[in-house]
Amino acid sequence: MEHLTIRNVPPAVAAALASEKRRRGTSTNQTVLDLLAVALGVSPVPFDNGLARFAGTWTEHDVAEVEAHLPARVIDDERWR
């Protein structure tokens, strides 16, 4: 594995990188590696809408609790004719 040091990172780039690392929930190193891999075409562009960390985290109890607070779903047959 190679080691790389990057100097003179402009403040705007550093801030954007810090924001992206927080959004992804990864280290600075991993974020930079992922961004470089995509930019250089050695990794497919991942689909990341920022919600992946929540996928599959609801229990049956969580679903039941949310559905209990939603209004009943009633279809008005007259409106759909």
| Residue owning tokens 């990864």 | 26
How many separate domains does the chain show?
Answer: 1
Q: How many CA atoms lie within 13 A of 70 on its CB side?
A: 9
| Residues of the chain falling short of pLDDT 70 | 45-48
Is 2 inside a domain boundary?
Answer: no
Position 17 scores a pLDDT of: 97
Query: Is the pTM for the entire model greater than 0.85?
Result: no
Is 43 inside a domain boundary?
Answer: yes
10 Å CB burial of residue 37 (0-12, 13-18, 19+) is middle
Query: Structural domain of residue 48, as residue ranges?
Result: 11-68
Position 46 scores a pLDDT of: 66
Is 61 inside a domain boundary?
Answer: yes
